[in-house]
Amino acid sequence: MPVKPFSTHIFLLIFFSQTALAQYADLKNDDNVPWIAEFSMDHDFSSSSVSDQQNIVKLIKFYNDPTTLYGANTDDWIINWIFANAMDGHYECYKDPELSNQLSQSDLLNLTISIDTVITFYPETFEEVIEIKKVEIHPSNINSLRTKQIIFYNQKSGNFDTKLIAVAPLMAIDSDNNLTPLFWIKMDAEFPNPIDIQAPNISWGVLLDTKGSPFDLKLAKEVKNENNFDFKKRIQKHAFNLERPVENAKGFGCDKFLSKKEVGNLYNSIDTIITFDPQTFQETVEIKQYNFDPNAIANYRLVQEWYYDRETKKMMNRLKAICPLYIVESEDGKIKYAKKGSRRYAKSLYFIRYN
């Protein structure tokens, strides 16, 4: 009988309670922060296999401590470590995503153990033996982590940033590989700026590009908005005016930066349309310009640094760049209006660097 976690619900959009809000009360009360939104993403932090549809994970630092890894490798190390710390009582753990129903250590252990009744029949003696077995979840059973985060804007620094609020170990519960959170772990570490990657307490770090699971602004929940702050327009303003470095869409870290003219060209494309009249044999050349449609921004790739502090046993993240994704027609790959019925895909415009 397979292990069954406490809930079969999958939370795609997280609604935070006052308990969770208290973790960033300083940002809510900061006059320099006019906008905050909450969102959720699932990550396995694996760099072993990358395809066009997957997130891009690059290992920054890995300190191998064989006494605590349960035989894990560098790809699943962080999930093993987080789960083991929870089982050892190092975290505040909660039953619900609102972080309002805290679990005792015994309750937590019960969530990760299932009781199986094994009945054995011996035909020689006609004896039936009933045996009770406990089946414990092993770190290798954990598929990934569901992360609860906020994204916010600081008008004093002119930067967007993110902050990790909580994580939940995820495990497949059925043959369709549907994932469900076992419990929620409060993460309230402050990200030092700048971070010392050589510090001995920082034992793991990755650079994560959410290419395969981009940030969808429509699914985020605004918890603070002053003076009608517009996320899309602020990103575009930063790019148009080169208020922040704007990098080529080939990928964060390619160090090929765009000029104002090159950024402007990304938002407008010009097509030369040639038509031929078979009756008059006349050829007509038409220049057609396709102007940028803000509604065609589908979502955003987030580039984040993720670190683990083995002294506090907490994960933390920092936003490095945002990449808007634009809906384009796939016939020629140019940036156009996404017409109804046409084949469409999301095209990366650029990476605008923050922090």
DSSP characters over 100-127: -SBPPHHHHHHHTEEEEEEEEEETTTTE
What whole-number percentage of the chain has pLDDT above 90?
41
Q: What is the pLDDT of residue 280?
A: 74
Number of domains in the chain: 1
Written as six digits, the tokens of 288 are 């057609």
pLDDT digits (tens, 9 = 90+) for 197-219: 888 889 899 999 999 889 999 99
**With 50 as the cut, is the pLDDT of residue 5 above it?**
no
Tell me whether residue 5 is in a domain. Answer: no
Tell me whether residue 136 is in a domain. Answer: yes
Q: What is the pLDDT of residue 351?
A: 96
Least trusted range by pLDDT, from 167-176, 306-315, 318-327, 346-355: 167-176
Tell me whether residue 2 is in a domain. Answer: no
Tell me whether residue 4 is in a domain. Answer: no
Tell me whether residue 191 is in a domain. Answer: yes
Tell me whether residue 238 is in a domain. Answer: yes
Tell me whether residue 10 is in a domain. Answer: no
Q: Which one, of 208, 202, 198, lies nearest residue 307 by Cα?
A: 202
Secondary structure of residue 47 in the 3-state scheme: coil
Structural domain for 49, as ranges: 18-353
Q: Tell me 15's DSSP state.
A: -
Q: What integer is the mean pLDDT of 155-171?
A: 95
Confidence band, pLDDT 50/70/90 cuts, at residue 274: low
pLDDT digits (tens, 9 = 90+) for 312-341: 999 999 999 999 998 765 455 454 444 444
What letters, b where the CB count within 10 A reaches 16 and e where it falls short, cover 118-136? eeeeeeeeeeeeeeeeeee
CA end-to-end distance (rounded Å), the chain = 49
Least trusted range by pLDDT, from 124-128, 132-136, 251-255: 132-136
**With 80 as the cut, is the pLDDT of residue 59 above it?**
yes
Q: Which one, of 161, 344, 322, lies nearest residue 237 by Cα?
A: 322
Q: What integer is the mean pLDDT of 279-290?
A: 66
Written as six digits, the tokens of 72 are 């894990």
Q: Which one, of 270, 232, 226, 263, lies nearest residue 245 by Cα?
A: 263
Tell me whether residue 3 is in a domain. Answer: no
pLDDT digits (tens, 9 = 90+) for 83-133: 889 989 999 999 988 899 999 998 888 888 754 555 676 677 767 766 655
